[in-house]
Structure 1
Amino acid sequence: MPSTLPDGDPVPADGALPGSALAGLGDRPFAFYVHVPFCVTRCGYCDFNTYTATELGPGAGRDSYADTAIGEVRMARRVLGDADLPVETVFVGGGTPTLLPPDDLGRVLAAIDAEFGLAENAEVTTEANPESVDEAYLAKLREAGFTRISYGMQSAREHVLAVLERTHTPGRVPQVVEWTREAGFEHINLDLIYGTPGETDDDWRASLEAALSSEPDHVSAYALIVEEGTRLAAQVRRGELTPPDDDAMADRYLIADEMLSARGLHWYEISNWAADPSAACRHNMLYWTGADWWGVGPGAHSHVGGTRWWNVKHPAAYASRLAEGVTPAHAREVLSDEDRRIERIMLELRLAQGCPTELLDDRAVRRAVDEGLLQGAPYERGRAVPTLRGRLLADALVRDLT
């Protein structure tokens, strides 16, 4: 969740949505995202909306956060009325959500269930730092109804973790994965980052091998982005670190796809590989395919029926608004039909299932097939699916097709 909020239109004090957003409510899948903005320390590369203890003001601490978030869940129910909206997925992200007690995370989940109802076999995920959980914590999370955990592993090389300012040791990940399985979790994801200054191809292979040795059913691999305003960006600007190289990044992606595929994890989105369809992150798939979701927490973004809005950033301002009975939304935008078409293309072209060619200019699609950027057979079936080369050039491919 980026730390900078975009401009937008004002939001009514009660958070009421336009009629266009409420039309068809319940016909589309519905999900919740819950942002927990707390971290022990902020990693040097991170541009997310997170806060350490020294950056928080009155009324914004961890102790009261679950109750504040529950207040927004109840507001969501009032805004959305009495429409039947079984929650397909819940994703708790951060920050470090597991800095909150497991009972607090369980209470937020229970409030979502009480107000909306969890769908049968709902996917419930939390992100976690490997150092922030133990056996007892994981057992309580599972008992509370969580079904999936995503660990921020990032690398198995200590010098790479040091550049990223990650505090866990490489050996911690296999231990917590074992505890997670023993607690009865159905799905485990490991997040990796490639392209860190000082990382070599061999370092990257070692990180992939270490992740695979724990036998997760899902791996996410993201190229490092040097975000303006971060400590990492300042180090690169001063010449202390070398910026990521595009060719090296492409090589690392190819290494990841080769190694993950060889071990039975196959791509379903450009940066994500799963052991089988049931292991794919259903929550993210809802994002990528235009579902509705309500984002709880400071800086959280929401989307319902073509209306998107985003909350105030700071936890103190967020808590204050909810205490006053006022929406925490900072601003919103109502997407035009053309906006939604382009956004759909941008997201669905990242998926292995592809994008319907009816949304695209056929001449541009045929040109991309001829250039080896889109697969030919799916095109014949009315789908635009990127090739491996197309995945490497995804941004340019999207520009050409929109």
Structure 2
Amino acid sequence: MGSALPAGDPAPADGALPADLPIDGDAPFSVYLHVPFCRVRCGYCDFNTYTATELRGARQDQYADTLLREVGLAADVLDVAGARRAASTVFFGGGTPTLLPPGDLARMLEGVRAAFGIAPGAEITVEANPDTVTDAVAATLAQAGVTRLSIGMQSSVPHVLAALDRTHDPSNVRTAVDAARRAGLAVSVDLIYGAPGESLDDWRDSVQTALGLSPDHVSAYALIIEAGTKLARQIRRGEVPAPDDDRQADMYELADGLLADAGFDWYELSNWARTPEHRSQHNLAYWRGADWWGFGPGAHSHIAGLRWWNVKHPAAYAQRLAAGTSPAAARERPDAAARALESVLLRTRLHEGMPIAELPDSRRDAVAGLIADGLVEGGAAVHGRLILTLRGRLLADTVVRALTD
């Protein structure tokens, strides 16, 4: 059911933004819609998600109406602040958004459109479990305005899927991709590497299988062991081995090479796109520090440097909105030093890098050492940008420490 929410300052019951918040009404604005439902809980997952037996007072069939109450509240809050603007990206995440009827997802999107407007050419993504995508589902989503389906493939190898507690039929990944294509949707596939028992050949098979689907975008994430998960307990008891850092580095290099050979360019540490137009504009908004409002239990939001997060459980979320109050649990306003640190953390992940001039004066001297160590591209640095080499991507945390400690 996800990790604990961070501490923060009290959030006002009406959700109002501080009067002195320096909002740029022309800045891009993104919307995240959290659907916190899953059929089963994967052993590695630490997201704020719930199976049917964990809902305790919340109902999936009422969820769309509940979330739309928060959309209405947000519209009122942003109106008062003079900051209501059209959404440039919309992202349905989870959980498994496609566990809801596609008509509910369409209604949620229409609510966003009515409240904020949707900018011309906006990217609208729905995450999907392969077993939940049919021609009818894909067609309904496309008709509602969805432009992109992100399919949770994770692996093509049955024993790796079993190690991750993934229950989908691997053959349904192709079925889901084909349905999305027939509906005219762009396709991204998500992969995870480093599961217990996964060999380099297993991983090669998964990447090659994913490329055989001819997606527009591929995400490949190293398995991270989160405290409190089933997998963490299995590792602690010695039932399965912990991920091996060296093996995961080999897997990353293998994926990067296979994807590059297939014409994909990396644009973020864990993301590759067939063309610049196929990059995830929604995730780029996060990495670039744009404004977004996250709707749903446990969802986080960011407007002009102010951050807040909603109560976690769907029942508590629904109760607050039914009472006409904001579901925000708490909020914070990081100071300039914290914002600068976060900028380095996020922007060094991107292939576009970040301007060296935006580093603190005291840390610019570190760039020369990073170039000498093969972690940063020397040619880009000469032109004022800090961009990671392949070795730098593998040691990104080392780079960030050198630039911030």
User: TM-score category by the smaller chain?
Assistant: over 0.9
Match of 2:325 in 1: 326
Match of 2:77 in 1: 79
| Structure 1 Cα separation of the partners of residues 368 and 358 of structure 2 | 14
- Give the TM-score normalised by structure 2: 0.97
The answer to whether the 8 Å contact 2:78/2:84 transfers is no
Match of 1:159 in 2: 159
User: Where do 1:1-400 residues align within 5 Å?
Assistant: 2-21=2-21, 23-58=22-57, 60-81=58-79, 82-185=82-185, 187-360=186-359, 361-400=363-402
The answer to whether the 8 Å contact 1:44/1:164 transfers is yes
The answer to whether the 8 Å contact 2:33/2:90 transfers is yes
| Structure 2 Cα separation of the partners of residues 323 and 176 of structure 1 | 36
| Structure 2 Cα separation of the partners of residues 293 and 351 of structure 1 | 19
The answer to whether the 8 Å contact 1:35/1:296 transfers is yes
| Structure 1 Cα separation of the partners of residues 321 and 215 of structure 2 | 39
| Structure 2 Cα separation of the partners of residues 40 and 4 of structure 1 | 22
| Structure 2 Cα separation of the partners of residues 240 and 387 of structure 1 | 37
| Structure 2 Cα separation of the partners of residues 395 and 37 of structure 1 | 30
- Give the TM-score normalised by structure 1: 0.98
Q: Letter of the aligned partner of 1:107 in structure 2? A: R
Shift of 1:84: 4.5
Q: Letter of the aligned partner of 1:106 in structure 2? A: A
Give the percent of matched residue pairs that are identical in Structure 1 and Structure 2.
57
The answer to whether the 8 Å contact 1:373/1:390 transfers is yes
Q: Letter of the aligned partner of 1:6 in structure 2? A: P
Shift of 1:57: 2.0
The answer to whether the 8 Å contact 2:154/2:192 transfers is yes
Q: Letter of the aligned partner of 1:396 in structure 2? A: T
In structure 2, runs of 5+ residues without a counterpart are none
| Structure 1 Cα separation of the partners of residues 70 and 364 of structure 2 | 45
The answer to whether the 8 Å contact 1:236/1:242 transfers is yes
1:188-247 CA distances to partner (integer Å, 9 max, x unpaired)? 110000000000000000000100000001000000011111111111111110000010
Q: Secondary structure of 2:195's match?
A: coil
The answer to whether the 8 Å contact 1:3/1:299 transfers is no
Q: Secondary structure of 1:19's match?
A: coil
| Structure 2 Cα separation of the partners of residues 333 and 84 of structure 1 | 21
Shift of 1:73: 0.6
Q: Letter of the aligned partner of 1:306 in structure 2? A: G
| Structure 1 Cα separation of the partners of residues 84 and 14 of structure 2 | 21
The answer to whether the 8 Å contact 1:3/1:47 transfers is yes
| Structure 2 Cα separation of the partners of residues 182 and 103 of structure 1 | 19
The answer to whether the 8 Å contact 1:9/1:333 transfers is yes
In structure 1, runs of 5+ residues without a counterpart are none
The answer to whether the 8 Å contact 1:38/1:52 transfers is yes
Q: Secondary structure of 2:365's match?
A: helix
| Structure 2 Cα separation of the partners of residues 36 and 334 of structure 1 | 26
| Structure 1 Cα separation of the partners of residues 354 and 24 of structure 2 | 24
| Structure 1 Cα separation of the partners of residues 19 and 264 of structure 2 | 43
Q: Letter of the aligned partner of 1:259 in structure 2? A: L
| Structure 2 Cα separation of the partners of residues 20 and 68 of structure 1 | 30
1:253-279 CA distances to partner (integer Å, 9 max, x unpaired)? 000100000001110000000001000
| Structure 2 Cα separation of the partners of residues 327 and 381 of structure 1 | 47
| Structure 2 Cα separation of the partners of residues 316 and 197 of structure 1 | 35
| Structure 2 Cα separation of the partners of residues 157 and 83 of structure 1 | 47
Q: Secondary structure of 2:61's match?
A: coil
Q: Letter of the aligned partner of 1:206 in structure 2? A: D
The answer to whether the 8 Å contact 2:134/2:175 transfers is no
**Number of paired residues?**
399
Q: Letter of the aligned partner of 1:72 in structure 2? A: E
Deviating above 6 A after TM superposition, structure 1's stretches of 4 or more consecutive aligned residues are none
The answer to whether the 8 Å contact 2:299/2:310 transfers is yes
The answer to whether the 8 Å contact 1:3/1:313 transfers is no
1:120-166 CA distances to partner (integer Å, 9 max, x unpaired)? 01100010000012111111011011000101100000000001010
| Structure 2 Cα separation of the partners of residues 16 and 283 of structure 1 | 25
Shift of 1:2: 4.5
Supply the RMSD in Å over aligned alpha carbons: 1.0
